[in-house]
Amino acid sequence: MHLDGMSTDFSTLIRRAKLLSCETRVTIWNALGEEGRHPVALARELGLAPSTVSFHLSALVKGRLVTVYGHGASRVYRWSGVRLAILSEVELMAMTAKAATQSP
């Protein structure tokens, strides 16, 4: 399977799905947008502690769901190219799991 120009196996998809199993992390991810956001502004907007936003952004960067630009206080985080593809894959996995649990 190829997402964002890179080969992605099922275990990678599972790791990314687990990253998005946290409601706070999904809220942060959805708020980023394609333009990107500064973490302090994002924390203010979402009513979260800057340390909480930073923690979740770090996990999203490590999972390659978010890209960071700049250095130090001028860092901006935005969606990586896999956003729509990963949502489609996660949705497909959820439908497959649901169908499997409904089978006799």
Q: Where are the domains of the chain?
A: 2-102
Spatial separation of the C-alpha atoms in residues 68 and 57, rounded to whole Å:
9
Q: Which of 22-26, 65-69, 100-104 has the lowest mean pLDDT?
A: 100-104
Contacts of 75 (CB under 8 A, 6+ apart): 38, 39, 68, 69
Q: DSSP secondary structure string, 47-99?
A: T--HHHHHHHHHHHHHTTSEEEESSGGG-EEEE-TTHHHHHHHHHHHHHHHHH
pLDDT over 90 percentage in the chain: 37
Instruction: Name the class of domain 2-102.
Output: mainly alpha
Say what the pLDDT of residue 68 is.
93
Judge whether residue 33 has pLDDT over 50: yes
pLDDT of residue 6: 45
pLDDT digits (tens, 9 = 90+) for 47-80: 999 999 999 999 999 988 899 998 777 899 998 8
For residues 84 and 101, what is the distance between their CA atoms, to the nearest angstrom? Answer: 26
Amino acid (one-letter) located at 97: A
